[in-house]
Amino acid sequence: MSGKNISTRVVHAGEPRPRIHGAIVTPIFQTAMFETAGNAEYHDVKYSRLNNTPNHDVLHGKLASIESAEAALVAASGMAAITTTLLTVLSTGDHVLFQDCLYGGTHDFVTHDLADFGIEYDFIDGNDPGSWEGRLRPNTKAIYVETMSNPLVGVSELEAAAQFARAHNLVSMIDNTFASPINFRPAEWGFDISLHSGTKYLNGHSDLISGAAIGKADLIERVRRRLNHLGGCLDPHACYLLHRGMKTLALRVERQNENALAIARFLDEHPKVSRVNYSGLETNENHARAKKFFDGYGGMLSFELNGGGDAAARLMDRLTVATVTVSLGGVETLITRPALSTHQGLSAEHRKNLGISDGLIRLSVGIESIDDLIDDFRNALNS
Ligand SMILES: *Cc1c(COP(=O)(O)O)cnc(C)c1O
């Protein structure tokens, strides 16, 4: 029994029973192969590239349990999970619908690489389900969305996307990295496959790269076989670190939800701040939708200052607790200007169309004391 509540399951689900030699913590199986590899069928040979050591098994069981899904698979990175899943679900001649404003790496894969595989795509407005049917083609096979958009943390019509997929016999995929399984569980809303950068909230300590695909057992089995061939396995030692990080996922994310809401409220009331993007604010245009889908509004937010890019640069110079860097989901508060970092590769025009101004600041809120964080922002804004 691993418990009804997600806070219990994140600690106990998937753990080997009986425990291996009684060990409370699953030992690291730092071995490439196992003596019993034997005469099994290729995908069942006990060989660590095939993601089948006890360190992988425990993660697969835990990830499936905490997202209320049938099966899960870890991968060497979020991008390995995403690209391998896309190349499993889609083949030459297929067409796929993507929500616009995708994570940068995914956007680049879609726009630079998919054509080489003979796969066609269209972008759709995630807020406007009425416009999706017009983008369908006879060869459309899948729809792909993200739980929250980066960096404006918008929330699309997620339930409609899963329903649309069922109605039109498409595979529904969602990148659930920003929400984490604590705040949103795609399988409960009808999604076939959820994808994660385990580098972010799942691990939570900014010290490894990993990914995961979670969902229907038959689909995950197909992704597993393709991953076995493409080779994007997760090393057993990285499995151990991810496993260790995940045990505190609920605690961390609950704290990050609280901290982010408090910072969003503080910024929203500050005279030098012109706009705050956070679905937890009652005034946010995504609030009703977020409230319906999410158990918490997450640790990601973005905002703009009256003084634009120059004021943003000054603020970031003066912060002492928040650290200026890309990436997200760690215990430490991280801050970045998307126009100069994550979204630098887009043209100024494209950024403008997406609503990403030069002065926009993205915050990944950590688990520090909320008093220290607010003091840090207050001092930096007022000096
Ligand atoms: C970071 C990230 C990815 C890519 O994950 P990696 O682990 O860096 O490969 C994919 N999607 C989202 C939303 C991310 O934040």
Residue 33, both tokens = 């192969």
Phi, psi for 369 (deg, rounded to 5): -60, 130
End-to-end Cα spacing for the chain: 54
The whole-number pLDDT of residue 373 equals 98
What CATH code is carried by the domain that includes residue 107?
3.40.640.10
Residue 171: Cβ within 10 Å count = 21
Furthest-apart CA atoms within the chain: distance in Å:
70
Q: Is position 108 annotated as part of the catalytic site?
A: no
124 & 212 share domain: yes
- Protein residues whose CB sits closer than 6 Å to any atom of ligand 1: 77-79, 103, 105, 150, 175, 177-178, 197, 199-200, 209, 211
Evaluate whether residue 173 is within a structural domain. Answer: yes
201 & 115 share domain: yes
Q: How many CA atoms lie within 13 A of 346 on its CB side?
A: 24
115 & 192 share domain: yes
CA–CA separation, 142 vs 36, rounded Å? 39
The edge-to-edge listing of strands for the beta sheet with 120-124 is 71-75, 211-215, 193-197, 171-175, 140-146, 95-99, 120-124
302 & 326 share domain: yes
Pick from 72, 63, 75: nearest CA to 13:
63
Final residue of a domain: which of 246, 269, 299?
246
Evaluate whether residue 222 is within a structural domain. Answer: yes
The whole-number pLDDT of residue 240 equals 98
The whole-number pLDDT of residue 374 equals 98
Question: What's the 78 CA to ligand 1 centre distance in angstroms?
Answer: 5
Q: Residue type at 313? A: A
322 & 365 share domain: yes
CA–CA separation, 106 vs 112, rounded Å? 10
Phi, psi for 20 (deg, rounded to 5): -70, 115
The whole-number pLDDT of residue 362 equals 96
Q: Give yes or no for a contact between 163 and 190, defined as CB atoms under 8 angstroms apart.
A: yes
Under DSSP, the state recorded for 134 is G
241 & 265 share domain: no
Residue 166: Cβ within 10 Å count = 11
Query: Which of 5-9, 35-39, 188-192, 282-286 is predicted least confidently?
Result: 35-39
Q: Is position 200 annotated as part of the catalytic site?
A: yes
Partners of 143 in beta bridges: 97, 172
Under DSSP, the state recorded for 33 is B
**How distant, in Å, are the alpha carbons of 20, 43, 106 from that of 109?**
41, 27, 5
Question: What's the 22 CA to ligand 1 centre distance in angstroms?
Answer: 35
Mean pLDDT, residues 340-369 taken together: 90
What CATH code is carried by the domain that includes residue 290?
3.90.1150.10
Final residue of a domain: which of 201, 218, 246?
246
Final residue of a domain: which of 227, 246, 265?
246
Residue 204, both tokens = 């939570």
pLDDT level of residue 80 (50, 70, 90 thresholds): very high
55 & 141 share domain: yes
pLDDT level of residue 337 (50, 70, 90 thresholds): very high
Residue 242, both tokens = 């991810």
- CB-based burial, 29-64: b 16+ in 10 Å, e otherwise: beeeeeeeeeeeeeeebbbbebbbbebbbbbbbbbb
Evaluate whether residue 238 is within a structural domain. Answer: yes
Pick from 106, 108, 102, 185: nearest CA to 149:
102
At 130-183, the pLDDT tens digits run 999 999 999 999 999 999 999 999 999 999 999 999 999 999 999 999 999 999
CA–CA separation, 83 vs 75, rounded Å? 11
280 & 354 share domain: yes
For the chain, how many structural domains are there in total?
Answer: 2
Probe target for ligand 1 pocket from 86, 103, 208, with the most ligand atoms within 8 Å of CB: 103
Residue numbers of the domain that contains 119: 6-246
303 & 322 share domain: yes
Evaluate whether residue 1 is within a structural domain. Answer: no
At 88-123, the pLDDT tens digits run 999 999 999 999 889 999 999 999 999 999 999 999
